[in-house]
Amino acid sequence: MNESKKSAPIFGESIITAISVGFAFLLVGIIFVITPNLFDKILDFFKDFTLVDIKNSNWVLPAPASASSHLLVYQAVAQFSFALGAFQIVILALRFFATSAWEKKSETVGNLVFWLGAGFLIQAFLLETTYWFIFCSTIIMLCGVSLIARAIVMAAARI
C-alpha cells in the first residue's frame, strides 16, 4: 500500500476564496455603515420600479419611475464595484503567488474587468446623467467584454 500523497499548498484556492468572500461581506458592511439610511434607500429604489415604454419599440421594461432620485444607492453600488474591482488585483496577485491554475487567474481577470467597468458605467450613466436603459445595455456589453478578457488570458496561457 504505497500511495503517493500530494501535499496541498499551504496557500491554496480555498484560502483565496475565503479571503475574497470575506472581503465582499466586509465591504458590504462598511458601505452600509458609511452610507446613512442605505437600507431604506434601497427599499425606496425597488418600490419605485414601474413598467416603462421603450421609445421606437413595442417593448415595456421595468425601470425606476424617477431614476435620478436614487443617487445615494447608485453611489453605494459604485463604491462597492470600484472597491471589489481593486481587490481583484490583490486576488490576482495571490493567485500568481499560490500558482493557481490559469482558469482561476483568467476568472479573476474577468472579475476585475467587470467590477471596475461596472463602477465606471454607474459613474457615467447613473450618477452623472441617469440614463437607466443605456446603463442596463452597457452592463450587458460589459459582461461580454469580461468574458472576452477571460478568454484572452486563457489563450495567452496556452501559447
pLDDT at 55: 84
The pLDDT, as a whole number, for residue 130 is 85
Supply the pLDDT for residue 5. 46
Give residue 5's identity as a one-letter amino acid code: K
- Beta strands 49-53; 60-64: pairing state: antiparallel
Span between the terminal Cα atoms of the chain, in Å:
40
User: What is the distance between the alpha carbons of residues 37 and 43, in angstroms, rounded to a whole number?
Assistant: 10
What pLDDT does residue 152 have?
96
Q: What is the CA radius of gyration of the chain?
A: 20
Q: Is the pTM of this model over 0.95?
A: no
Cell numbers that stand for 1 in this block: 500500500
Confidence (pLDDT) at 9? 54
The pLDDT assigned to 4 comes to: 45
Rounded Cα gap, residues 14 and 3, in angstroms: 24
Q: Rounded CA gap, 154 and 107, in Å?
A: 9
Q: Which residues of the chain, if any, have pLDDT below 50?
A: 1-5, 7-8
